[in-house]
Chain A
Amino acid sequence: MQRTTLDLWVGTFVVAGLAALAMLAMKVGNLGTYNVSESYELHAYFTNVGGLKPQASIKSAGVLVGRVTDIRLDSQHEYQARVTFSLDKRYQFPKDTVPKIMTSGLLGEQYIGLEPGEDEVMLANGDEMRKSQSAMVLEDLIGRFMYSKASSAAD
């Protein structure tokens, strides 16, 4: 069995195909932004998560620090939504950090913003963040606005 020019062509073809796949993964996809460093898990309860989805980003001061891994309804906990976060181990947050559900832009997707507190003790794997701020629901906002308008007109 000998090497032929055919092998060279097919080899080039395979390498080009794999290179295209690698480009898709790194440049087009988010594999390049996945951090291989270790992570730790936290959770928090929200009265309303709005349109938050698993894999949504978690940002603190606009910097990506982790991802939402799980969202479920907890009937043991006043029927609130239990959201699990996976955070990069490089970033530690104080015990009284508040997670807020925010929206990027007017119609953009929802993400979680972490507002660090001032506690000396840091959150560890499996801890719960006590306070949280739920998503803004447009209907609620409009309802509140109309209610305040109506009550001010009655005066």
Chain B
Amino acid sequence: MAILNALRLIGNRTVGAVWRIGFATRFFVMTLLYSGASFRRFHLTIREMFSSGVMSLIIILVAGLFVGIVLGMQGYETLKRYGSESALGSLVALSLVRELGPVLAALLFASRAGSAMTAEIGLMKATEQISAMEMMAVNPIARVVAPRFWAGVISMPLLAAMFSAMGVIGGYEVGVVLIGVDEGSFWSQMQAAVDFRHDILNGVIKSVVFGLAVTAIALFEGYDAPPTAEGVSGATTRTVVESSLAILLLDVILTAFMFQGN
């Protein structure tokens, strides 16, 4: 009997998971299909860009500066052993533009803006605002979900670029101003090492993909949350966990494609 119960449980879980994946896919396709309104009535998207993009500015800028400062100090410590302190600029810029900028900005975005999106939509559902919209023949996907989705996708690369730029400034402040690495070689080595297409554009592509993943997960978790206080809190937690893992997994895949060999 115990075996039968265990089998039943496994089957139930599997069917539940597949069901959820199917619903998530349909939700994503619907979001893309009903995206027209978020561009025709762009002020809807603008408002969401304010709450997800502009409000994340402070944390992104401060975090970027700190990461750049730490990179400058740690990089200097290591490069000093090989007598190549002048490569500090290229070390700081390459690690920020290729990896740390897109990934850390996306992780911060997931916990700062993604969780808020989930909680907001989950609560809208719990207080039956979504059902009310459907009663008034307003499509909640077009009115609530799609503008948030596009706001996230547009904001993410801008935030990542600002993160990287702040990081480079932080690295410059520590490396050149405080420690005294030669300013000319700092910038020239950086410019020699960082390629626009290979490094910067690939970083932008990464951050667009991360923005897509984070907002899609956050919106789906919110829309799928059980309409209770517990359900919304669980959905918020799942958003942060799932989108962080998705960012890191996608980063592995994208890095493998972008930076193979040379």
Q: Which A residues fall within an 8 A CB radius of B?
A: 1, 6-7, 9-10, 12-14, 16-18, 20-21, 23-25, 27-34, 53-55, 57
Docked CA distance A28–B171 (Å): 12
B196 / chain A contacts, CB cutoff of 8 Å: 25, 29-31, 34
Give the Cβ gap from A152 to chain B, nearest Cβ, in Å.
34
Q: Are B199 and A29 in contact (CB under 8 A)?
A: yes
B243 within 8 A of A: no
Question: Separation in Å of the B258 CB from the closest CB of chain A?
Answer: 15
Is B121 in contact with chain A by the CB < 8 A criterion?
A: no
Chain A interface, DSSP helix/strand/loop, else mixed: helix
B118 at the interface (CB under 8 A from A): no
A21 and B161 contact, Cβ closer than 8 Å, known pairs A28-B93, A29-B196, A30-B196: yes
Closest to A30 in B: B191
Across-interface contacts of A55 in B (CB, < 8 A): 195
Q: Does B158 contact A (CB under 8 A)?
A: yes
Kindly identify which residue among B47, B166, B194 contacts A30, using a CB–CB cutoff of 8 Å. B194
**In the complex, what distance in Å separates the CA atom of A9 from the CA atom of B161?**
18
A30–B190 CA distance with the chains assembled, in angstroms: 9
Q: Contact flags (1/0) for B218-262 with A, using CB distance below 8 Å? A: 000000000000000000000000000000000000000000001
Size class of the contact patch on chain B? 20 to 34
Contact flag A20-B53 (CB < 8 Å), given A32-B191, A53-B262: no
Contact across chains for B158 and A20 when beta carbons are under 8 A apart? yes
A-B contact pairs, 19 of them (CB 8 A): A6-B50, A10-B46, A10-B50, A12-B54, A13-B49, A13-B53, A17-B162, A18-B161, A20-B164, A21-B161, A24-B164, A24-B168, A27-B168, A28-B190, A28-B200, A30-B194, A31-B196, A31-B200, A53-B262
| Interface membership of B176, Cβ < 8 A | no
Provide the residues of chain A in CB contact with B93, threshold 8 Å: 28
Closest A residue to B41 using CB positions = A1
> In the complex, A34→B50 CA distance in Å?
36
B157 interfacial by beta-carbon distance below 8 Å: yes
**A54 to chain B: closest CB distance in Å?**
7
| B117 on interface, CB distance cutoff 8 Å | no
Give the contacting residue for B54; candidates A1, A10, A30, A32; CB below 8 A: A10
Interface centre among B53, B155, B166, B191, by most chain A C-beta atoms within 10 angstroms, is B191
| Chain B 158-195 residues near chain A, CB threshold 8 A | 158-159, 161-162, 164-166, 168, 187, 190-192, 194-195
Say how far B93's CB is from chain A's closest CB, in angstroms. Answer: 5
Residue B26 at the chain A interface, CB threshold 8 Å: no
Shortest distance from the beta carbon of B205 to any chain A beta carbon, whole Å: 13
Closest Cβ–Cβ distance, residue A96 to chain B (whole Å): 30
Beta-carbon contact of A28 and B97 below 8 Å = yes
* Shortest Cβ distance from A12 into B: residue: B54
**Given A13-B54, A25-B200; 18 other pairs, CB 8 A cutoff:** A6-B47, A6-B50, A10-B46, A13-B57, A17-B155, A17-B161, A17-B162, A20-B166, A21-B200, A23-B168, A24-B97, A24-B165, A24-B200, A28-B190, A29-B97, A29-B191, A29-B195, A34-B196
